[in-house]
Structure 1
């Protein structure tokens, strides 16, 4: 049986974080505008994120941040915002059944704009083992997902169901071992993995 992993960004500070300056919408509020777009209609700007008095603060002081342009870029929307190198690695591993496409997004810093990519799903995927998944009582809100091996066997990347259209641009995805190994072999930065439960 294949193993699968929750794939997210590394949770460490200090770090460069991409912000949409002047945009006052939350991630889920932007999804309807991005559903059919080919690019995010605004650029993001890098700020240096630090932990101060147990709070995230940002500034323009990047002096203690070694790698500003990580392959997974932390951002205020918690999108899967990936470098072109990471996009190529993921694209090379897909089975073709995942219904994934990409939005491009410019990220600016010190007069330079670098193109990143936002992973987007075109349709919701039926992936859960309903009997084993833990839900908030009386709702369909997931506390702890458990995935059905027979449902995910043809997917190399998938997301869990979520309310509204949030499944389209999720904050994290699940990946097969082969994708994890390809990411690690390519030396991609800013990523974190934890094993998912599959039965």
Structure 2
């Protein structure tokens, strides 16, 4: 019996006190299509089209001042989060992106590297970002404080947004699933239809949240150039 509703998200499978649940993070590698076939499969062609589309979009967001090849960092980030979000919808697969341990590990180093690079190489440009254009002189001190705070909490908002969205859908599916044994046949049919609809919604959320995370990270990097 669960003592806590969130205990379904706890890493529990272990051998010799080593948690094996986090190995689910590497399951996405199995989905990546191989590039060693003589004739590429449809899966490979579709994946190449997705990468090319993301590359063009991220390149537009970064702008002409961005470094060549920097878009592939964000494409890799998108792929990692997408696989973990999507695989977490399968039964008995641990959703690592529902933990702040993983989401903060992704968000904090990226944000910190952007800040260090920006303040060292483009100090004046970073100072101008603290005061939006057209701000009255009397409001400038307040705007500097607000912009500084909003900049500092960026990695936190990135991490919490992803983890909260993953937890919310999974909790709803768990709560509805636990009521199944006590329902009649007619209500059980409605519950299964509702669960399938929620599962479809969660699949969409898994894709959208990985895209949002990657796009926001790209926008933060474009601000330092």
TM-score, structure 2 normalization: 0.22
Q: Quick check: which one's strand share is greater? A: 1
TM-score, structure 1 normalization: 0.24
Rg (Cα) greater in structure = 2
